[in-house]
């Protein structure tokens, strides 16, 4: 009977080991699936970050373009006013220009 108990214990041990290996294989497969999902999500996340960054940069570029156009309009207006003042100055008589400085 002792021999039978030993062989039963060894069979149970093998069955337990086989069961544990099967569970381990299932867990490894699940881990591989999760790792693939994580990689996929990271790629999506990076793409979203790049998209957000691109949108922010585009908004900043549009804002700066609007400011540049406004500055160019202001410069053109000031140049026009300066040209008008110069033409008025040169149209005055010589003695008036000497008095005005």
Judge whether 87 and 95 are in contact, CB under 8 Å: no
pLDDT one-digit tens code per residue, 52-73: 888 888 999 999 999 999 999 9
Q: Where are the domains of the chain?
A: 2-65
Asked whether residue 8 carries a pLDDT value surpassing 90, the answer given is no
CA distances from 54 to 41, 59, 92 (A): 20, 9, 57
- pLDDT average, residue stretch 72-94: 85
Give the SS3 label for residue 86: helix
- Give the model's pLDDT for residue 84: 87
Who contacts 89 (Cβ-Cβ below 8 Å, separation ≥6)?
A: 97, 100
Predicted TM-score of the model (pTM): 0.48
| Mean confidence (pLDDT) of the chain | 84
Burial class (CB in 10 A: 0-12, 13-18, 19+), 60: exposed
Asked whether residue 1 carries a pLDDT value surpassing 50, the answer given is no
């Amino acid at each position: 009977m002792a021999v039978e108990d030993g062989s039963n214990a060894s069979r149970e041990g093998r069955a337990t080991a086989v069961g544990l290996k099967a569970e381990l294989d299932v867990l490894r497969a699940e881990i591989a699936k999760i790792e693939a999902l994580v990689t996929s999500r990271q790629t999506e996340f990076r793409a979203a970050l790049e998209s957000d960054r691109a949108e922010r940069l585009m908004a900043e570029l549009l804002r700066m373009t609007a400011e540049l156009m406004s500055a160019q309009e202001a410069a053109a207006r000031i140049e026009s006013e300066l040209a008008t003042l110069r033409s008025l100055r040169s149209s005055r008589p010589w003695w008036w220009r000497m008095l005005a400085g």
